[in-house]
């Protein structure tokens, strides 16, 4: 399964590995996880934040492409599968973009978002 392969490769980056500007932007609600496995902007980013998010998304795209080639899937399919793991890590107060709507904020007491396609 794609998710098992991602876990084995350390596929979904942990927040501790992110630059401080990204960690701060998550906490401030400026960025969040998207349904396609990439980070997105909840509000207009600064140039410095845009560069850091772009770097993270390039790394994710590379990982998804490598996994796709080994799993006979498309990078898009791998990214969507990765979002299941990434959404599970959205902290209370964090933002996520589901495929069926706009940005949503995880409320206190709310379970981590789990799209239907995550099974």
pLDDT of 114 strictly over 80: yes
CB 42 within 8 A of CB 29: yes
pLDDT value at position 8? 42
pLDDT value at position 99? 83
Rounded distance between C-alpha atoms, residue 98 and residue 114, angstroms: 9
pLDDT value at position 1? 46
Percent of the residues in the chain that have a pLDDT greater than 90, as a whole number: 75
Rounded distance between C-alpha atoms, residue 35 and residue 65, angstroms: 17
pLDDT of 48 strictly over 60: yes
Instruction: Name the band, by pLDDT with cuts 50, 70 and 90, for residue 55.
Output: very high
Per residue in 12-38, pLDDT tens?
Answer: 544 548 899 999 999 999 999 999 999
Of 60, 90, 63, 87, which is closest to residue 5 (Cα–Cα)? 63
pLDDT of 2 strictly over 70: no
Rg (CA), the chain: 14
Rounded distance between C-alpha atoms, residue 64 and residue 75, angstroms: 5
Rounded distance between C-alpha atoms, residue 10 and residue 73, angstroms: 19
Rounded distance between C-alpha atoms, residue 77 and residue 64, angstroms: 8
């Amino acid at each position: 399964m794609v998710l098992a392969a991602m876990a084995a490769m350390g596929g979904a980056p942990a927040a501790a590995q992110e630059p401080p500007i990204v960690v701060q932007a998550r906490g401030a609600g400026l960025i969040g996880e998207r349904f396609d496995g990439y980070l997105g902007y909840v509000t207009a980013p600064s140039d410095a934040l845009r560069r850091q998010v772009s770097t993270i998304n390039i790394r994710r795209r590379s990982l998804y492409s490598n996994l796709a080639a080994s799993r006979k899937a498309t990078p898009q399919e791998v990214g969507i599968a990765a979002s299941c793991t990434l959404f599970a890590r959205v902290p209370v107060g964090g933002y996520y973009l589901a495929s069926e709507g706009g940005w949503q904020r995880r409320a206190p007491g709310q379970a981590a978002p789990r799209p239907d396609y995550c099974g």
